[in-house]
A and B are shown apart, each in its own frame.
Chain A
Amino acid sequence: MNFASQTLSTKPPRLRALLIALLALGLATGLRAEDDHDHDHEHDHADHGAHAHEDGEEEHDDHDHKDGDHEAHDEHEGHDHGHEEGVVELSPAVMGEFGIVTAKAGPGVLHEEVVLPGEIQFNRERVAKVTPRYTGTVQAIDARLADQVTQGQVLAALESTETLRPFDLKAPFDGVVTAYDVTLGETVEAGQPLFTVADLSTVWADLRIYQRDMGKITKGQSVLIAGGHDEATFRGTISYIAPVIDEHTRTGLARVVVDNHDGDWKPGQFIKGSVSIDEHRAPVVVPRTAVLTYEDQTVVFVQTDEGFEPRPIVLGHGDAASFAVQSGLKPGEVYVTRNPISLKAELSKGSFGGHEGHVH
């Protein structure tokens, strides 16, 4: 550049300066793009440095006016999307589309129950072991395994080995021969059980109680006994609770006397007993599908004038389908019973609470 100006000595100096300025300007324009971006870059780095604060402040001043605008904007936004209030507004059309169903809060009945495993046992009060009074020889056997016998029916005829007088073994009550251990001509000792006769018109359902449930199970509770698959069911009450715990399995025992006139229940069979612990009437009962956890609170979504809001509630008892609401939801309020997840999801979009794709 110096060299150029020397050679221009014949021209008025003003023009020369102008020309140099022109050139400089031109080159500067050419490089401006790069300068600019370098700037950006420095700024970016400055963000992390201690230096940043100063820079930021200065610029902050420059943009004071703008920031003011933003604050105003903020308030507006806040109102629009209303995260502070945490309300979701939905048109009926969208609710229909998303399968969001509402209902009025109202009373209901809860059936609290505990399901216990167990098995069918003989009714031990109606089982008899038939034994000969004297040692004797078996002369005749009149009843075989599984034979139905009536009270007084002769099961076998024996002859005493001492007195050589015949005597009969008779069924003590109506029942079924469930076991016999005797052969013809055999000599049997007095008191040796030859036949077991059981009255199967009633059987016992012995249910196992885990330690956790022991407090809940009491005598007299209603129990639905089911054998599983498509077998019969029986509703009875708990008639006995064992005072001790089985040392082996660490479970307790509850007993239901089951009517078995139809012969549906066979001793040894596995069953399940659903014990109705309690039956509550509650002023507000909501289905399980209505209840969600939102920000560490149990909530239902309640319709208010502004829209749907998550309402923290305290749950009481519950059964398989519903919960009782202790507090938080008053009878008559409208709340979401199905698909409240859409509302929760809308609220959890982020604390900025806006709609996506929202261009300012």
Chain B
Amino acid sequence: MLQKIIETALRNKLVVALFTLAVIGGGYWSYQKLPVDAFPDVSPALVQVFTVTSGLGPEEVEKFVTFPVEAAMSGLPRVKEIRSVSNFGLSVVGIYFEEGTDIYFARQVVGERLSEAREAIPEGFGEPEMGPISTGQGLVLYYNLIDTTGQYSLEDLRSIQDWVVKYNLQTVPGVTEVLGIGGNVKQFQVNIDPDALLRYNLTLHEVIERIEANNQNVGGQFLERNGEMFIVRSEGLARGIDDLSGIVIAHEDGTPVTLQDVATVEVGGEIRQGLQTRNGEEEVVSGMVIKLYGTNSSTVIEAVEKKLAEIEKALPEGVVIDPYYQQKTLVQGSVDTVTNALLQGIGLVVLILLIFIGGFRPSLVVALSIPFSVLFAAIAMYYFDISANLMSLGGLAIAIGMMVDGTIVMVENTDRLLRGAPQEESKLHVIARACREVAQPITFAILIVVIVFIPLFTLQGVEGKMFRPLAYTVALAMFGSLIYALVGAPVYSALFMRKPKAKANADAPREIWIVRALVSVYRPLVTLFVRCRALAVGLSLALLVLGAWIFPKLGSEFTPRLMEGDIIANLSMAPSVSLEETKRNSMLAEKRLLEIPEIEQAISRIGRGEVGAHADPINSVHMMVVLKPKAEWREGFTQVDIENAMREKLEGMPGVQSNITQPIQLSVDELIGGSKAQLAIKLFGPDLETLKEQGDAIAAVVMDIDGAADVQAGQVIGSPQIVIRPDREAIARHGLNLSEVQELIEAAVGGVEAGQIYEGVQRYDIYVRYQEDARDTIEDLGHLIVRTEGGALIPLDEVATIEEVVGPRQIVRENNQRYLEIQANVVGRDIGSFVEEAQEAIDAEIELPAGYLVSWGGQYELQQEANRRLGIVVPVTLALIALLIYTSFGSIKNTVLILLNIPLALVGGVVGLWLAGENLSVPSSIGFIALFGIALGNGMVLVTYLNQLFREGKDIDDASIEGACLRVRPVLMTAGTTLLGLLPLLLATGTGSEVQRPLALVVIGGLVSSTILTLLVVPALYKWFTARPKPEIS
């Protein structure tokens, strides 16, 4: 069949040329259309349900809101896990669906149950709503609104954010949500003087009713007059403070009592659960742009930027929008890193070709396979919806060297045969013969490379999402290269390559000098090995022992950390602190960080703003550190150095715990493990106090283990509460209802909304509450007066006890069980061994009460999952490959000989990792996988040729030496191209290079060792593995 293909191609050269053009043209067009992301989106299929329940404590939120939502959501199809956080005033339930669930399907089923949950939540405790349709990488741009003139208040700026910037940005296609934080949400505050209520014999309830009743527009249908229709409407809306103040609350003997007689009305800021500060100087108003699920980051960011420029023009003079974080930089950095590596790789590969083949024409034929394969892959990527990102483009960069392998073998054989062909044989005939000779091994070699990547497609979860695109593009590009080798290479050889004609004196050196030089060194070596096979065995054994000795020294990790170029410092304060105290501390921390010369801005997001992306409590700070351009950094400073400098600065801040991470890392980590650290130890159990106690003990143990950094036990309790417990007897004695007392607490202390004021389309709440001095202290609360129906005036502390207690900060649950999380990062050693040691220590030192159990998560969890799967996938692949080789050679012995390449290649990869000080990780595992393919391919080509010579009747030893010498050029060339093609990835320092480096390292190291061994050991051992020249059907 292969011969047919080659012959058909040679007969239809024009068609093949047009086909090539079509692929190249189509590929270029597809590449332009490809969505570009920083790296594959690894976020889980997750739907979040947010419920804002203003004023409720975590216990009530858990009981009345979180639980009904969880209950409604369990039992949904394809749900994997339900996690929840019950915070002060906010419940967030995360429903995790099985991998690969369509997000719109997930939202639909959640949406259907949401109404059920809504009914189960008591009236007035909030409306559950789904979060934005986005993922962990959805936060594409953060900006600050900065007033350069100093004349706008935080209320003004926030109004600009909420009603101008946000509204306009939300119209940008691909933007699903814009969330504001910081500043003050404008509000018309009615601060009631409780004494005035007593004076006029009013209740708070009556005041609220009055305000609502005096602030309405109504419609009165229409009137007809002389055939015209007039719509009747009444404008009764209050237009501002004056209107509000004038609302009549009561009549006293014909004298109206207006709102201003019992209250002061003013514009103020809403009660807030978060704010944003900048550079230790000021509070700012800020927004986050969230992109819609599945949209193209680069185009969305571009469109957002364009819109921002437009919006800025419409803002009041002096107010500017300062985008301080943009994923664009990261996207560009990542893509640049791999495109550079790709281009450099192409250059190096062409160089190798020129050196080894010597002629420009054959090199051109080979080089052409690179654009063909890459663009073929681009078409397929477009077709399969694979975005261009660090991983998918990285796959192409890895494959550069391998794409040319098939064609090299073909062209090399053609070149050799052309030189040696008799004059009378036509060029076309020689080419057809040459191609036929190697078509089968090439096809099998390339198929093996494709097959070794197939198991990667079965990877699940995060590692699957991360590395599948890489496997896809490698496989696609290799497939493209196979097409080119079989169809393109013969045709272009026929078109471009020439038979050496006139000067063809028979004995003229057929090889170029470099190959001759190589062979002159190689021949004695291979002869030595063939003659003295023990040497070959010894060398192999020595290498294997070396490998076996080094291997345990390697550490392991999930994925090397990708440097995003932006750093986030997470600060957490004591759970009891107020927002103002957090603000004070985080501004101090900002000042400290700005002392590091590489840091340009430090912007802290404290607590939470508009609900939808974050549910952080007010003692939690995410401080975005914006770095100066790399050129301005101190000599030799890296991001890690800066992070260490930051750790140093933040250390010794009393009452502040810190943890350093990066923006995307943070949001992805949050979505995946609900954890912000590499290692998350979860302690499950029912009682918060016990959880806290045991959690602290575990943290103490972990803290003492070598390499532990940033160890923190979750803050489940520690939030001070003032608990008002009505005394039922006292209430009964005074003839009160419990609700009367509690309404007072809710409305007087907490405040209630009583309608809105409209300013154009902007609407602001009217918020009624007792004035501050009446509810400021615990004593004031005791003095609140409850009025009975009979008119008796009873201070609150006569009918209730008021006490201070320490309550939960937040309640986190996983699958309906409360838990506490202890997080840690691991510095200077691999997580795997760290976890092992920590587990031992905890087993030994801590005895948990019944009903409490520990589970380990975070990055560690992912690593285990990946390893488990690879443990199944790798042997299966090996079996598959062995089968393929066996099909090709029909000999078990040959197959075994070729498989021998694998351990030898592994050794090189292991040594490579060890020398570079890298860890075993998912990328390095993928390197090993690729390595198998390449090493096997080389072995196959060689063994095929040896078989051929042997069948021609040569003596085994001579055939081994002769064959090896003849094959040294293609073997070195294919290995050399692959190696040099990867070199740029190895040496790259740009964004994302950290992830590709271990992969390149393994392949390069493995190639070196396997090439040496292919060339020396395989010929030497060939004798033992010869397929018996039994009477085949030949």
Chain A residues within 8 Å of B, Cβ to Cβ: 3-4, 7-8, 11, 15, 18-19, 22-23, 25-27, 29-35, 37-38, 40-41, 43-44, 47-48, 52-53, 55-56, 59-60, 63, 67, 70, 73-74, 77, 88, 90, 94, 97-100, 115, 117, 208, 210-212, 228, 248-251, 270, 272, 293, 296, 341-346, 348-352, 354-360
Contacts and interface: CB of A to CB of B under 8 A. Distances in A.
Nearest to B570: A356
Contact of A29 (B573, B783, B903): B903
Contacts of B875: 31
Given A25-B548, A344-B655, A212 B797 contact: yes
B792 A47 contact: no
A25 B700 CA distance: 42
B720 A293 contact: yes
Closest 3 CB pairs of A and B: A26-B903, A345-B655, A345-B574
Contacts of A30: 874, 878, 902-903, 906
Given A74-B704, A94-B652, A248-B790, A37 B871 contact: yes
B843 A47 contact: yes
A208 B864 CA distance: 72
Contacts of A354: 703, 711
B868 A38 contact: yes
Contacts of A4: 892-893, 896, 1025
Contact of B699 (A31, A70, A77, A352): A352
Given A38-B868, A359-B709, A88 B704 contact: no
Interface string B631-655: 0000000000000000100111111
Contacts of B853: 48
B900 A26 contact: yes
Contacts of A212: 795, 797-798
Interface stretch (B289-297, B417-425, B834-842): B834-842
Contact of B654 (A88, A115, A208, A248): A88
A15 B537 contact: yes
Given A3-B892, A250-B793, A47 B854 contact: yes
A56 B844 contact: yes
A359 to B, nearest CB: 5
B804 interface: yes
Contact of A344 (B574, B798, B863): B574
A245 B113 CA distance: 58
Nearest to B696: A351
A34 B870 contact: yes
8 contacts: A7-B893, A23-B900, A32-B551, A249-B792, A352-B713, A356-B712, A357-B709, A359-B827
Given A47-B839, A357-B650, A359-B828, A25 B903 contact: yes
A70 B704 contact: yes
Nearest to A292: B576
Nearest to A95: B654
Contacts of A341: 574, 576-577, 581, 655
Contacts of A345: 573-574, 576-577, 654-656
Given A26-B904, A73-B704, A33 B892 contact: no
B650 to A, nearest CB: 7
B915 to A, nearest CB: 17
Contact of A270 (B199, B576, B652, B711): B199
Contacts of B574: 341, 344-345, 348-349
A29 B548 contact: yes
A56 B844 CA distance: 7
Contacts of B576: 341, 344-345, 348
Contacts of A272: 195
B793 A98 contact: no
Given A30-B906, A341-B574, A355-B652, A350 B793 contact: no
A30 B920 CA distance: 13
Given A26-B906, A296-B806, A358-B651, A60 B868 contact: no
Residue in B588, B699, B839 with the greatest tally of chain A CB atoms within 10 Å: B839
Contacts of B547: 29
A74 to B, nearest CB: 6
A359 B827 CA distance: 7
Nearest to A271: B195
Contact of B791 (A8, A67, A248, A348): A248
A349 B902 CA distance: 52
Nearest to B901: A26
Interface string B841-870: 101100000000110100000011001101
Interface string B892-914: 11001000101110110010000
A52 B654 contact: no
Contacts of A48: 853-854
Given A29-B547, A98-B653, 6 more contacts: A25-B903, A31-B871, A208-B793, A248-B790, A350-B699, A351-B700
Q: Which of A53, A115, A250 has its CB near the most chain B CB atoms (within 10 A)?
A: A250
A342 B1024 contact: no
B907 A29 contact: yes
A341 B579 CA distance: 13
Interface string B715-728: 00010100000000
Interface in B793-851: 793-795, 797-798, 804, 806, 827-828, 832, 835-836, 839-841, 843-844
Contacts of B783: 115
A359 B828 CA distance: 9
Given A26-B903, A38-B868, A360-B707, A8 B1024 contact: yes
A67 B798 contact: no
Contacts of B326: none
B115 to A, nearest CB: 39
B970 interface: no
Contacts of A97: 588
Contacts of A56: 840, 843-844
B228 to A, nearest CB: 54
Interface in B584-605: 584-585, 588
A297 to B, nearest CB: 11
Contacts of B791: 248-249
A307 to B, nearest CB: 11
B587 to A, nearest CB: 11
Given A19-B1024, A354-B703, A29 B655 contact: no
A26 B791 CA distance: 93
B874 A352 contact: no
A15 B533 CA distance: 10
Interface in B221-235: none
Given A22-B541, A117-B198, A359-B827, A70 B654 contact: no
B336 interface: no
Contacts of B651: 355-358
A32 B548 CA distance: 9
A33 B920 contact: yes
B877 to A, nearest CB: 11
